[in-house]
Amino acid sequence: MSGAHTVDHANRQKVTLSAACRSAIQAEVAKYPKPRTALLPSLKLAQKEVGWLPPEVVAQVADLVGVSHAQAQELTTFYSMLHTEPHGRLHVEVCTQVPCGFMGGDRLVQQLEQGLGIAEGQTTPDGGVSLHKTVECMGACHRAPMCRVGDHYVESVREPADVQALCASLKAGKVPATAGTRNHDFHPAPAPAKVGASANYTPILLRHQPRTTQVSLAEYRAGGGYQALEKALRSMTPDAVTNVVKDANLRGRGGAAFSAGMKWSFVPKVPGPKYLVVNADESEPGTFKDRELMEVESHMLVEGMAIASFAIGCNEAFLYLRGEYVEAGERMRAAVAEAKAAGLLGKGVLGTNFDLEIHVFLGAGAYICGEETALLESLEGRRPMPRSRPPFPAVAGLYQRPTVVNNVETIVNVPHIVQNGADWYKAIGPNPKSAGPKIYCLSGAVNRPGNYELPLGATTFRELIENQGGGVRGGRKIKGVLPAGISAPIVPADKLDAKLDYEGVQAAGSMLGSASLIVIPDDVDIVRAATRMVEFFRHESCGKCTPCREGVAWLHKVLQRIEGGQGKTEDIDFLLSLSDRIAGKVLCALGDFATSPVKATIAHFRSEFIAAITGGRGASDDWSKRS
Amino acid sequence: MSDLVELTIDGKKVSVPKGTLLVEAAKTVGIEIPVFCYHEKLKPVGACRMCLVEIEKMPRLQTACTTPVGPGMVVNTKTKGAVDGQQSVLELLLANHPLDCPICDKGGECPLQDNSFKSGGTTSRLAEPKRAKEKALPLSDTIVLDRERCILCYRCTRFQEEIPGDSAIVPLERGGESVIGTLTGESFDSPFSGNTVELCPVGALTSRQYRFRSRPWDLQHVPSVCSGCSVGCNVRLDVRDATILRVLARENKAIDDGWLCDTGRYQSLPPAITAAHAGPEGKNRRVRSPMVRVNGTLQKATFADAIARAAALLRSGKSAIALSARLTDEACQVAGAALRGAFPNTAIGFIEPVVSPWPVQGRIQNLAKVKRIVDLGCDPWHTLPILALWLRKATTAGAPLVVVGPDNGLWRDSKHWLKVGNDGLVAAAEALAAALAGKPATPEATAAAAALKGDGPAAVLLGAPFAGNARLRAAADAIAQALGVTAETGFRGAPLRAFNARGAANHAPELARTDVLAGSPQVVCSIGCDAPVVVPGGKAIVVTSGAVPDSAEVEVVLPLAHPYETTGHVTNLDGQRQALQAAGQRPADVRMDHELLQALANAAAVPAGGRA
Ligand SMILES: Cc1cc2nc3c(=O)[nH]c(=O)nc-3n(C[C@H](O)[C@H](O)[C@H](O)COP(=O)(O)O)c2cc1C
Ligand code: SF4
Ligand code: SF4
Ligand code: SF4
Ligand code: FES
Ligand code: FES
């Protein structure tokens, strides 16, 4: 997206794309069912070569893909990873969303400002480094604070020595090679003791934890991998596969918890292409489970996609990853290539007459692409604005063809269900209505943040935080826990004995959603937290519908004023009434999500808002409570 | 009928065809649900949320513009919940909307203004400063955008994407920063851009021609027909103080489907209007009074003197009367009868062809439903723009379009484009005809012919400038025959571009084939011609609604009413006769075409030098 217009386009040397880049773009165009799908990947290829996307380059890409120049600019200005202005050779982006912000992200910004001698938003005079803070979570919350340097994650920049090492390497023009870079060969250590719900449970999905390197095809097969695919292809009909998934009550792990088997059964049995699209956009703050699944258990996902495709009659499947997941994308591409070479994908899978191609497709920085219809628009090379329903994707999805969209975690359950049966699956966990393994992303102020796989409903908030998370950092008290990233209402400290399944969290007044638990300690300023969370939604609102586009920006303005010490008493009720003008009136759930940090924090911590307004507080850059 | 659906809206029983949207169903019982983004000619998007209604058994408010009717549905548009929804949206729309109404072109015809009044004038509670965006941003030579006024209904961008399909403007940025625009440094270039100004529900997109020129309540509306070309799109002329200020679409479902092209909208006005807006070089030079050359200079004259002088000149030697094919049916009748009789020794005929060498058969609206299309050098996008939009209805429904020729504005929608220069047209058309007949042909032609396999109605268009070539016509015939084109369901022909070519051929058939200048006339009277004929060393009589050529040969000038200032009839390319109604006020000496021709014929009856 563009910032202030500082480029002197008139006196700038115009850029022509190299022949290599042009042919790479032509290869993209040839790759997909429709050329326009190649628009986003092509813009990224061009940006990789040029460093940013000046208008003449956007025009060249548009011509190669066969869209209007304006259409290419539409995407260029929408996605935050596409740049209409040049930046430093190393582009540093520090995550300041909740939880990173209060876990040291804001502090890291200041430290880097000092270390690099530039203000946030600026580039060093030699053009070497530019420094930005983002409100987008990057799926590394368990390794907060973190930043991205170009495509590379630099995680757990906690200690002064980490910061110094980072600065030194940036100044030297190098992507840091310190611990916590993209190959993050570490995991919550020491591994938590097997207590509580985990005592008698062996993870099914994240079965190689704490490993962070990718499981190879050979390893995966040695552990029984791809047997479920064999079984499905050789001894089951597509309907039988759908039925076992339906019988297992596998509920979607992307947030809405809709029965996966049911969704597959809605796909009409019409001739012509049908698509499986796996949602790996994972941009909800506090969520990093799909990342670990893709980086480590890549083949489990490939196998799950193959089985699901067989069930719905799909021969061309898409895996849509958020643009920041470069590492996961590379590993998934490698796994797909490996599987294809072994005859597990491609023409005639395992010697049957079932064909399947899998496209690994990366976005470019937009939370809304996690919403399934916006994701489809993004895949079609269009501005990713959610579609109004009906029609539903099962009837008219990608390219207006029948399409199933499922989350990564949903899909990795499939091979296990097919292999072991519905009854086996329903017996995992105490609640057969919501059964199966569930990955809880635990972040924020706990001693051992990370992904923890447990049977759904086998544990409570408190147990998870204590047993797996190793308790709250610094022995502090908990103010509340956000159970579904920042999108669902905060669960206050007195409700932490609620069971972690869909029904249990709902009874506690919130939603399990993607099960991304962010633990907020008692010393975090809730007004600041609410402001930061609403800023996220303001930044990520696609702008399609009025209540969200206008209303969320308005909420943020008021919150910013309160946070800056300029609040008025009537602001609190105004925020609530404004939230009501948004919620339930918007096109997609993002607008509803945006109101929950406001409504729930006011409901539970009104006194803190009042104190922020009446306490004569001034602007501060400290996350701790100030009044 | 079995596919009627019954439901209840605000307590009224409604019965409408399956698939009808709630907004439309409500209209059938007189219930207006407020809308901004919805437009019946564009796909529903559910963006603005203005049309929120309550539907029993549904947990949330629903948008009436995207929800199809369901059997037994109980819909409420005026309950507390629905009204709260609509008012919420309105308040939020106004949160950042500038308070420009008094200076806004849309003031008085603005749905945002109207809806705010209706809902009791929601006052904005926004204590924070409003968001600033660019105001008066020129998007092109003809269109200006006020980004603060834009309510992001995406009508303009949906139009460009769905109707012409060129996506010449798009939404940029995202969230609250979203704006409408183009690639940095490029302008809004589309032959159909003006439609977006009409579609814009607020005063965000405005026409530079009309900007600040009037308030809606001061305008008089006159129905007429666009004089830009022979498609015959229906227009509404907006007139203020005798001046035609703007041309708007007036939907005719058989001809224009509610759209106009920019040539028609912006360039078909008489110069008195456009010149004032065309910058210094377009200085208003429209002639307003009759003139005759006296002592070497053109001087004002009475109408009677000028017409008498013209008649005398025409009878003085080898002379010709060159008629424009823009004259009305009535004028053509006078030309073919009274004028012909009055000047027996004068060559009279049209300056441009009025009989197509490959006449049009079939109706324009058939184009929407054809299943296969071949265009041989016609390129309607550039020559008869609205026809291209009809063709797009067919191509978006899947009809293959094969284009043969150098230019192809429908390149996005073409299945095959056999790109050849004008000189390669015949060979390429013959190759295609051969391929369709199953004979060996070039690989391109064979591939194109394969795409045209199938049945159902079809269309073949031929470029009129090339239709004189008999081999090309033969190829076109063969192609039309291979595709099974019929006039009832399809379309074939080489449509002539001139406004009333078909009417001229119908009403003055005996003048239709005259090569009017063949006899090297010394005196030429040009009537309504775009470029009046001036024979070097000869004498020119110029009857025009434009400027006078700056040349010593011009002896007489007679101002002519523009088609928009004329009452009469014209016949469009598919043969539909439509009425023109004079708009604005002409000075008394600016005559309508048929009056002027009659006066000229009458003057011929008066002996030279005598008085009538
Ligand atoms: C704003 C928004 C963001 C979302 N982000 C994601 C996401 O990152 N990953 C995901 O799987 N689902 C996300 N969803 C839910 C998807 O729309 C969809 O329900 C899900 O991918 C379906 O998969 P499942 O049935 O397997 O859960 C999001 C929904 C909304 C409204
Ligand atoms: S609710 Fe927000 S994100 Fe969703 S469609 Fe509306 S503007 Fe876009
Ligand atoms: S410019 Fe007008 S038509 Fe276009 S989006 Fe804005 S308000 Fe709608
Ligand atoms: S297509 Fe022809 S008649 Fe229609 S608006 Fe354009 S110029 Fe006028
Ligand atoms: S990576 Fe910073 S909040 Fe998730
Ligand atoms: S009119 Fe229905 S959402 Fe805009």
- Residue-wise pLDDT tens digits, B96-114: 999 888 888 888 888 888 8
- Which of A73, A541, A543 shows the shortest C-beta gap to B183? A73
Nearest of B115, B111, B66 to residue B86 by alpha carbon: B115
pLDDT (tens digit per residue) in A491-546: 999 999 999 999 999 999 999 999 999 999 999 999 999 999 999 999 999 999 99
Distance CA(B122)–CA(B85), nearest Å, equals 13
CATH of the domain at A160: 3.40.30.10
* Predicted pLDDT of residue B125: 67
Mention every residue, 6+ apart, whose C-beta is less than 8 A from residue B168. A68, A70, B160, B182, B188, B189, B190, B193
Would residue A305 count as lying in a domain?
Answer: yes
Query: What values do phi and psi take at A140, rounded to 5?
Result: -140, 30
Q: Do B170 and A73 touch (CB under 8 A)?
A: yes
Same domain, A378 and A491: no
Same domain, A107 and A231: no
Average pLDDT, chain B: 93
Average pLDDT, chain A: 94
Nearest of B158, B46, B36, B133 to residue A74 by alpha carbon: B158
Would residue A405 count as lying in a domain?
Answer: yes
Same domain, A303 and A416: yes
Give the percent of chain B with pLDDT over 70: 95
* Predicted pLDDT of residue A2: 39
A vs B, Cβ pairs < 8 A, gives 142
Q: Do A543 and B152 touch (CB under 8 A)?
A: yes
Mean pLDDT within A435-442: 96
Distance CA(B241)–CA(B585), nearest Å, equals 8
Nearest of A382, A341, A500 to residue A65 by alpha carbon: A382
pLDDT tier, B126 (very low <50, low <70, confident <90, very high otherwise): low
Beta-bridge partners for B350: B323
- Poorest-confidence range of A2-11, A12-21, A158-167, B212-221? A2-11
C-alpha angle A378-A380-A386 in degrees, rounded to nearest 5: 45
The single-letter code of the amino acid at A392 is F
Determine how many CB atoms are found less than 10 A away from the CB of residue B218: 13
pLDDT (tens digit per residue) in A379-425: 999 999 999 999 999 999 999 999 999 999 999 999 999 999 999 99
Same domain, A401 and A445: no
Whether A228 and A307 have beta carbons less than 8 Å apart is answered as yes
User: Scanning the structure block, which residue is given the tokens 């814009």?
Assistant: B200
pLDDT (tens digit per residue) in B562-584: 999 999 999 999 999 999 999 98
Would residue A334 count as lying in a domain?
Answer: yes
What chain B holds in terms of domains, given with CATH numbers, is: 4-78 (3.10.20.740), 94-207 (3.30.70.20), 291-354+500-604 (3.40.50.740), 361-493 (3.40.228.10)
- Burial letters B128-148, b for 16+ CB under 10 A, else e: eeebebeeeeebbbbbbbbbb
- Which of A59, A383, A550 shows the shortest C-beta gap to B171? A383
Mention every residue, 6+ apart, whose C-beta is less than 8 A from residue A271. none
Is residue B611 scored above 60 in pLDDT? no
Distance between B70 CA and the closest CA of chain A, angstroms: 12
pLDDT (tens digit per residue) in A450-503: 999 999 999 999 999 999 999 999 999 999 999 999 999 999 999 999 999 999
- Give the CA-trace dihedral at A389, A390, A395, A396, to 10 degrees: -60
Taking every pair of Cα atoms in chain A, the longest distance, rounded to a whole number of angstroms, is 73
Q: Do A541 and B44 touch (CB under 8 A)?
A: no
Count of domains forming chain A:
4
Same domain, A260 and A316: yes
pLDDT tier, B284 (very low <50, low <70, confident <90, very high otherwise): low
Taking every pair of Cα atoms in chain B, the longest distance, rounded to a whole number of angstroms, is 90
* Predicted pLDDT of residue A180: 47
**Does B413 or B285 have the greater pLDDT score?**
B413
Compute, in angstroms, the gap from residue B195 CA to the centroid of ligand 4. 12
Same domain, A350 and A491: no
Mention every residue, 6+ apart, whose C-beta is less than 8 A from residue A329. A321, A360, A362
Nearest of B21, B560, B520 to residue B287 by alpha carbon: B560
| Cα distances (Å, whole numbers) of residue B256 to A73, A204, B63, B143, B572 | 31, 63, 30, 22, 11
**Does B83 or B284 have the greater pLDDT score?**
B83
Mean pLDDT within B468-481: 98
C-alpha angle A588-A594-A597 in degrees, rounded to nearest 5: 150
Is residue B406 scored above 80 in pLDDT? yes
The single-letter code of the amino acid at B311 is A
* Predicted pLDDT of residue A178: 58
Distance CA(A131)–CA(A139), nearest Å, equals 19
> Before A145, cis peptide (omega within 30)?
yes
Same domain, A479 and A555: no
Would residue A294 count as lying in a domain?
Answer: yes
- Which of A9, A545, A580 shows the shortest C-beta gap to B49? A545
Determine how many CB atoms are found less than 10 A away from the CB of residue A470: 18
Contacts of A544 in chain B (CB under 8 A): 45, 47, 152, 154
- Ligand 3 test: best mutation among B202, B206, B207, most atoms within 8 Å of CB? B202
Distance CA(B235)–CA(B581), nearest Å, equals 11
The last residue of one of the domains, among A498, A521, A544, is: A521
Beta-bridge partners for A91: A130
Q: Which residue CA neighbors atom 4 of ligand 3 most closely? A: B156
Give the percent of chain A with pLDDT over 70: 96
Determine how many CB atoms are found less than 10 A away from the CB of residue A161: 10
Distance CA(A433)–CA(A231), nearest Å, equals 26
Same domain, A326 and A229: yes
Is residue A254 scored above 90 in pLDDT? yes
pLDDT (tens digit per residue) in B374-400: 999 999 999 999 999 999 999 999 999
Same domain, A399 and A547: no
Mean pLDDT within A342-371: 98
* Predicted pLDDT of residue B610: 46
Distance CA(B58)–CA(B82), nearest Å, equals 13
Interface test with B, best of A550, A562, A566, A587 (most B CBs within 10 A): A550
Is residue A305 scored above 50 in pLDDT? yes
pLDDT (tens digit per residue) in B488-531: 999 999 999 999 999 999 999 999 876 899 999 999 999 999 89
Q: Name the residue range of residue A505's domain.
A: 441-521
Same domain, A246 and A382: yes
Distance CA(B438)–CA(A291), nearest Å, equals 57
**Does B280 or B579 have the greater pLDDT score?**
B579
Q: What is the residue-wise DSSP string for A424-487?
A: HHHTSSS-GGG-SEEEEEEEESBSS-EEEEEETTS-BHHHIIIIIT-SBGGGPPEEEEESBTBS
CATH of the domain at A539: 1.20.1440.230
- Note the ligand closest to the C-alpha atom of A153: 5
* Predicted pLDDT of residue B115: 83
Ranked by mean pLDDT, the top range of A195-209, B105-119, B532-546 is: B532-546
Q: Are strands B243-249 and B234-240 parallel, antiparallel or unpaired?
A: antiparallel
Determine how many CB atoms are found less than 10 A away from the CB of residue A341: 11
The last residue of one of the domains, among A137, A155, A171, is: A171
Would residue A588 count as lying in a domain?
Answer: yes
Indicate the burial class of B119 (C-beta count within 10 angstroms; 0-12, 13-18, 19 or more). Answer: middle
CATH of the domain at A247: 3.40.50.11540
Determine how many CB atoms are found less than 10 A away from the CB of residue A20: 10
Compute, in angstroms, the gap from residue B175 CA to the centroid of ligand 2. 8
The last residue of one of the domains, among A397, A426, A455, is: A426
pLDDT (tens digit per residue) in A19-77: 999 999 999 999 999 999 999 999 999 999 999 999 999 999 999 999 999 999 999 99
pLDDT (tens digit per residue) in B343-375: 999 999 999 999 999 999 999 999 999 999 999
CATH of the domain at A453: 3.10.20.600
Is residue B279 scored above 50 in pLDDT? no
Is residue A181 scored above 50 in pLDDT? no
SS3 A290: helix
SS3 A41: helix
| Cα distances (Å, whole numbers) of residue B436 to B361, B406, B453 | 21, 21, 8
pLDDT (tens digit per residue) in A542-558: 999 999 999 999 999 99
Would residue A223 count as lying in a domain?
Answer: yes
pLDDT tier, A189 (very low <50, low <70, confident <90, very high otherwise): low
Distance CA(A35)–CA(A581), nearest Å, equals 40
pLDDT tier, B189 (very low <50, low <70, confident <90, very high otherwise): very high
Query: What values do phi and psi take at A359, rounded to 5?
Result: -100, 130
Same domain, A286 and A421: yes
Same domain, A383 and A234: yes
**Which ipTM was obtained for this model?**
0.95
Would residue A285 count as lying in a domain?
Answer: yes
- Note the ligand closest to the C-alpha atom of B147: 3
Q: Which residue of A has its CA nearest to B185?
A: A55
Contacts of A550 in chain B (CB under 8 A): 92-93, 95-96, 176
The continuous run of DSSP H or E covering B272 comes out as helix B271-274
Q: Do B185 and A574 touch (CB under 8 A)?
A: no
Would residue A48 count as lying in a domain?
Answer: no
Check if A586 has its Cβ closer than 6 Å to any atom of ligand 2: yes
* Predicted pLDDT of residue A194: 81
